[in-house]
Structure 1
């Protein structure tokens, strides 16, 4: 009797083990497909194919992926959108963008890029070449930029090119593009131009936070758009501010979500 019970138990264990090895059964696992690596590099946009039209990208058109977002330049406007990669699928949400008026040919390319770089796209990476393709067959082709170190915060002149509000960006007031610049010193100082007036003061860096001390500015009166930009910049350059650098792009963002974007 004892021998019979042992045999039955052994058969039961064998049956359970066999069930556990069947496809789709409990205990089985299929290794997840690894995500295509897109972060950690900058990408130059080569072209956008939409319908039967192939549009070559202008100089300065590039994008960069970071955790949860894709940021880029169309060669005219800057844009940012939520983005996630799962396996070989890239999902891009609604983008926010600056609103600079572009020449008609560039505007046509920009419109095609925005339309194509939205929703679910299949990712194909071959060496340094990347193709993002929609379900309809439209595509964006890119080339990975040569590896480069991110521009250092200190010692770099940063040109302010956009205003940030949460996850959205906006253009600078009319007539102020290229006028506001900041330079951080290695000793914890900051100086530069707010667009019209000069600014200087202390900026202590701790981890990913810059804490701006009292800043002093010159007292010139300027045209209304420039003064509007200065007031917006001074609101950001006050107290502790989070900073991040992606390649040659610096973002400063206050606790309320307002901030600035600047390029080395």
Structure 2
């Protein structure tokens, strides 16, 4: 039996939405443990959470919900809102959920409700079954979570939807209006060395010279509409990032951009552009 620092992709989601914090690290991930020893091909794969079945009722997962466990036992999960980590024990095809950690970003009501339901299903001992790039986790009461292996997304040609803002190593949620709605922003890098999209209010385009680790943005050209909040606030934050040279990282279907002073953004992949 091998104890690993695995990301309890799921039950933790409930903690994320409800604001429970055991607080270890800004990214919510547990510390690396010993190398994983299991015959199941679970590690070094980003698993997209597809659905949750509780008491015979199946609920689709929100966009961006995923989990990943590396070969050293360090795991992390993304819900489209919070990052979560936990201690689990893997014995053959049995996963036992232990200590949990989560970030504390406020989530929309619909996501918080899903996380709460998921928290009830992901507890105790779970049976893991991997078949044809699909993963199923099933509890003793028959509740289950269905996941599928994600295909990595390329930087160029993928529409990236902005999901969070970075500052000094901390991720925060996007600005919200009085109803709790967040701004929506997208960016797509093209083969001709440009980037275009929506800043949350105005559409924009700019030169974008890329290397393996950096992107150098040229002057941004944007429309000049005045928009209600949170569009304008989000636009101001993004314009701070899309300026000069930044570092970037694409990890499976997630993108992060960071400036030299620690400001940045996180984004999730959509459908590849044609």
- Within a 5 Å distance, the mapping from 1:93-242 to structure 2 comes to 93-96=100-103, 97-102=105-110, 107-114=112-119, 124-127=128-131, 128-131=134-137, 141-145=144-148, 149-165=151-167, 166=169, 168-174=171-177, 175-178=181-184, 180-238=185-243, 239-242=245-248
Mapped partners of 2:171, 2:141: distance in 1: 26
1:163–1:261: 8 Å Cα contact kept in structure 2?
A: no
> RCO (CA 8 Å, sep 6+): is it higher in 1 or 2?
2
In angstroms, what is the RMSD of aligned CA positions?
A: 3.7
Aligned pair count reads 218
- How far apart are residue 213 of structure 1 and its match? 3.0
1:45–1:140: 8 Å Cα contact kept in structure 2?
A: no
- How far apart are residue 196 of structure 1 and its match? 1.9
Change in Cα spacing, 1:91 to 1:154, as seen in structure 2 (3 Å) is farther
Mapped partners of 2:240, 2:100: distance in 1: 29
Mapped partners of 1:32, 1:226: distance in 2: 44
- TM-score normalised by L of structure 2: 0.62
- How far apart are residue 117 of structure 1 and its match? 5.2
Larger Rg: 1
Larger mean Cα displacement after TM superposition, 86-95 or 196-205? 86-95
Change in Cα spacing, 1:32 to 1:214, as seen in structure 2 (3 Å) is closer
Mapped partners of 1:32, 1:71: distance in 2: 17
**Which 5+ residue runs of structure 1 have no aligned equivalent?**
1-30
SS in 2 for 1:230: helix
SS in 2 for 1:214: coil
Match of 1:243 among 242, 249, 261: 249
Aligned to 2:37: 33
- TM-score normalised by L of structure 1: 0.63
SS in 1 for 2:109: coil
Mapped partners of 2:170, 2:138: distance in 1: 23
**Which 5+ residue runs of structure 2 have no aligned equivalent?**
1-34
Aligned to 1:259: 265
SS in 1 for 2:45: coil
SS in 1 for 2:230: helix
Q: Whose helix fraction is larger, Structure 1's or Structure 2's? A: 1
Change in Cα spacing, 1:227 to 1:108, as seen in structure 2 (3 Å) is closer
2:165–2:173: 8 Å Cα contact kept in structure 1?
A: yes
